[in-house]
Structures are given as C-alpha cells and as structure tokens.
Amino acid sequence: MVSRTFAFAAQSSFYCFSDLPKLNPSKISPKQTPHRSSSFAHNHHNRVPWLPEPKLKRLSSVCFFNAGDKSKDGIQGKEETELGWPILERWDVPWGWQTASLTSFACGLSFVLTGLVEAAAIPYLGLRVEELSLDEKAEILFLDQGITTAVVLAVLYGVANSFQPLPEDMYRYDLRDPFNLRKGWLLWAGIGLAGAIAAISLTGVAVSFFSGETPQRETDALVRLLPLIGSSSISTACLVGITGVLAPILEENVFRGFFLVSLTKWVPTPVAVLISAAMGFSYAQTRNLLTPITIHAFWNSGVILVLTFLQLQGYDIKELLQST
C-alpha cells in the first residue's frame, strides 16, 4: 500500500500560487531570515510602546493537484483518434466554391490551349506528321503529354500556393510505411486496384446485360494505340511513360488532389469519393497522392505491357480486343 502511494505521488504534480512576493535567496542576509516562534514572541514582548503594533498580512494562495489522469486521458484520446478511419473525415479545405470552380475551369482551359498551341507549332517546326516514323510519333506524344502535365500542374499549384500554409494532408507525397494498415499507400493502392478491376468488370457485365453490347470506349482507345504497341522499345517506353507516369500524375493531382478534396467542403467524404471515382476511396483513406497515382500507373502501364507482350508473341491484338 505504501509503495503504491509513493508511486502515485511520483506521477502527480502539486502546484501552488500565492501573493507572497518572491525573494532572491542570494540577497537575503541572516538578519532577514524568518524568526523562530520563540524569537518572534521575544521581539513582540520587547517592542517599543509608542510604535503601532505590526499587523500580520494574511497571504492567500491557490493550490492545484494533478494526479496524472488528465495526461493519460489525453494520450488515450489521441490514440483513439489515430486509430480512426480517415475515409470518414473531411479535409480542411481553405478555399470556397468560387475558387474551386474557377480553378477547374482554368485547368480545363489550359489543357485545351496547350494542345492547340502545340498543334499550331508543329508546322512551324518543319515537321510533317504523316512522314514521321512510329518512334518519332511516340516521342512527340510523350513530349506533348509532358508539356500538358507541366502547364496544368503549374496552374493548380499556383492557385493552391496562394492559400499557404496548406493542411498537412493536402498534396501530400509520403513514401513512409507503405504497408501500414491505416495509411499504407502501397497497401491501399493494391486494395484500390483490386476494387477498380472488380468495379469495371461488374460495370461491363451490367452494361452488356442491359444493353446487349460491350462497352467500346476503352477498346477504341486501345485500337488507336495499336500501331505503337510493341513496334519498338522506344515506342513502348514512350507509351508507358505517358500512360503510366505522366497521365497518372496529372489526372490524380487534378481529380483527387483538388476536385475530390474540394468536394468534401460541401458533402461528406464517402459521397465525394463516389462522385470522384473508385480510386478516391484509397486516397481518402491514406491522404497520400502516391496511392491513386500508383493505382492509375499500374492500371495504364499494365495494359500497355500486357498488349505489348501479346503482340510480341504473335497475337492479333486488334482481333483479340474486338472479340473480348
């Protein structure tokens, strides 16, 4: 019992505040030290009769006792917060709907204008697209995507920079703890990728069931890229760089990093995820842009690499895509 009492006292704190003036011990002479009770009685008995009797001032004090429970509760509350699911929490968005609308319009406009400027500049550079080889076309496409990505991200970050300092979970790139259950960017990228595959498969089945036709948008896009797929190592590297690096960085910064985050100012995060895309779920959980970028990159580059492999094995990719 005694040991527990001392242990409890060691974790406690006792604070007192009083109106007693603070004294500097180095300046106190032996004559100024408090008298013992006997000395005080002696001096009081022998005081000078015509001097008024000294009045003792009552000193008030306030004391506080801290038993250590508050800090413990604080730590426990913090641990409970850290174990929560960020998917249910909103971002602290510093801008309003006007900024969100104008920024979205500016990103779209810069995307279109960049393409128009590049198309107009090609003849002035002395390039004839119809005379270019497949490798040269692939290189031009890669350069086009790189310029577009730089311009749109410059607009996006220019707007965001005017609201500095931003919350820590906005435009965050963090390579630490990739397999953490709560915020592991690589773990949740795998979960999101599996979810995206399942969602797209179910959507294709549903569309085919109700309309009797297979969705053609993805197939048509791949058919247009067929001349470049597997034609050479340069073309393949350019396609992987476009679809697996530049496009994910651009689109995830715009649609997840800005659009999804802005939506959470007015609607709950799960609703914003449904509006944005399936990849938004993993991003909302990790608050790390590496997660949706990884999903996007694996999806796009995986398709290109698989088709390239099949092309090299002698399969007719166009016939295979149309049949599936």
| 64, containing H or E segment | strand 61-66
Reported as a single tens digit per residue, the pLDDT across 268-321 is 998 888 887 768 889 999 999 999 999 999 988 988 888 888 888 887 777 776
Under the banding of pLDDT at 50, 70 and 90, the label for residue 51 is: very low
Q: Kindly give, in sequence order, each residue whose CB lies less than 8 Å from that of residue 277, ignoring residues fewer than 6 positions away.
A: 255, 256
Structure tokens at 261: 């985050």
Average pLDDT value for residue range 163-180:
92
Task: Give the pair of three-digit tokens for residue 62.
Answer: 């306030």
CB 285 within 8 A of CB 86: yes
Q: Which residues pair with 18 in a beta bridge?
A: 61
Average pLDDT of the residues in 213-220: 58
pLDDT, tens digit (0-9, with 9 covering 90-100), for 235-253? 989 999 999 999 999 999 9
Domain ranges, ordered by start, for the chain = 90-165+176-323
Alpha helices in 60-213 (DSSP H): 69-82, 97-124, 134-161, 185-211
DSSP state of 36: P
Can you tell me the mean pLDDT for 53-74? 43
pLDDT at 116: 93
Other CB atoms closer than 10 Å to residue 300's CB: what's the count? 19
**Between 73 and 249, whose confidence is greater?**
249
Is residue 134 a contact partner of residue 231, using CB atoms and an 8 Å limit?
yes
Distance, CA of 64 to CA of 53 (rounded, Å) = 35
If one compares 74 and 318, the residue with the highest pLDDT of the two is 318
pLDDT above 90 coverage of the chain, percent: 37
Q: In this predicted structure, which of 29-38, 144-153, 180-189 has the lowest mean pLDDT?
A: 29-38
Q: Does residue 16 sit in helix, strand or coil? A: strand
Separation between Cα atoms, residue 224 and residue 124, nearest integer Å: 26
The SS3 call for residue 19 is coil
| Residues 6+ positions from 93 with CB-CB distance below 8 Å | 261, 262, 264, 265
DSSP 63: E
Token digits of residue 150? 């730089």
